[in-house]
Chain A
Amino acid sequence: QVQLKESGPGLVQASETLSLTCTVSGFSLTSNHVSWVRQPPGKGLEWLGRIRSGGTTDYNSALKSRLRISRDTSKSQVLLKMNSLQTEDTAIYYCTRSVLWVSYFDYWGQGVMVTVSS
Chain B
Amino acid sequence: DVQMTQSPYNLAASLGESVSINCKASESISRYLAWYQQKPGKPNKLLIYDGSTLQSGIPSRFSGSGSGTDFTLTIRSLEPEDFGLYYCQQHYEYPLTFGSGTKLEIK
Contact = CB atoms under 8 A, between A and B. Distances in A.
Nearest to A58: B94
A93 interface: no
A47 B45 CA distance: 16
Chain B, interface size: which category? 20 to 34
B46 interface: yes
Interface string A29-48: 00000010000000011110
B71 interface: no
Interface of B: 32, 34, 36, 41-46, 49, 55, 87, 89, 91-92, 94-101
Interface of A: 4, 35, 44-47, 58, 60-62, 94, 96, 102-110
Contact of B91 (A46, A62, A94, A103): A103
